[in-house]
Amino acid sequence: MRKKIVAGNWKMNLNLNEGVELAKELKNILDADKPNCDVVICTPFIHLASITPLVGDLIGVGAENCADKESGAYTGEVSAAMVASTGAKYVILGHSERRAYYHETSEILKDKVELALANKLTPIFCIGEVLEEREANKQNEVVKKQITDALFNLSAEDFSKIVLAYEPVWAIGTGKTASPEQAQEIHAYIRSVVAEKYGKEVADNTSILYGGSCNPSNAKELFANPDVDGGLIGGASLKAENFKGVIDGFK
């Protein structure tokens, strides 16, 4: 059956020392009280090589992005192969902040996903509508197009390696969480879209995380839904105690 996962997305926060300290603290806390789900932290590129050896098998480590090119003259970019060489196992792709501020299109994301998979990284692929789309009741249409355009070129075998994260843009960093009913409804819809393309077995095995103002006080209620397989956590992943509170949503 599909995995339950709580993944942190540190975004552009914490210098190297602060990040290393947070990872150590989190490892100690989870060593003392083992989680009932997989735990992942996605960090800025520069933290990866320092953090992967510190956290062992207890915590998966991921990047927040990777390049859409394999290697070469792309100043400032970091390739999927470079990410994998640090020991990281995951990469967030298609985050709404990358789509909105760095103009990442489905065409670009398709290449990133392929390079991530070729380097044995698990993409945590983000989808989600903006407020105007939700208000116009277009959320299903939007997420279906995002998945179809960037992922449905994959074979069933490759698609099975993807983790999806539904992150309504209006809930990210706003303190406005999707209600458990809203989350369940669209997660079930997303699973049906996957089932239509790849069949029920692949859909049943796909982890679909919820992201957007998820915190220790609402995690349990969100994770209790049958189609919500965990969370992608921004702000609440920046303090070990808060992140642990979200992880305990599975207890």
Count Cβ atoms below 10 Å from residue 149 Cβ, excluding itself: 14
Tell me the residue nearest to ligand 13P as measured from the CB: 234
Beta carbon of residue 91, minimum distance to ligand 13P (angstroms, whole number): 13
Give least dist CB 7 to ligand 13P, A: 8
**CB-based contact 169:128 (threshold 8 Å):** yes
Of 30 and 236, the one with the shorter C-beta distance to ligand 13P is 236
To ligand 13P, the closest distance from the beta carbon of 92 in angstroms equals: 7
Residues in contact with ligand 13P by CB under 6 A are 9, 95, 167, 172-173, 211-214, 232-236
Q: Identify which of residues 42 and 198 has a Cβ nearer to ligand 13P in the complex.
A: 42
List the alpha helices (DSSP H) in the chain: 16-32, 45-55, 80-85, 96-101, 106-118, 131-135, 139-151, 156-159, 180-198, 200-204, 219-223, 240-247
Q: How far is the CB of 106 from ligand 13P (least distance, A)?
A: 18
Distances (CA, A) of 161 to 117, 155, 209, 240: 8, 10, 14, 28
Annotated active-site residue 95? The verdict is yes
Of residues 119 and 177, the one with the C-beta less far from ligand 13P: 177
Catalytic annotation present for 21: no
- Choose the catalytic residue: 64, 95, 104, 133: 95
72, two tokens:
């070469």
Q: Which is nearer to ligand 13P, 79 or 213 (CB)?
A: 213
- β pairing state of 60-63 and 163-166: unpaired
Q: What is d(CA 238, CA 86) in angstroms, rounded to the nearest whole number?
A: 21
Query: Could you give the residue numbers annotated as active site?
Result: 95, 167
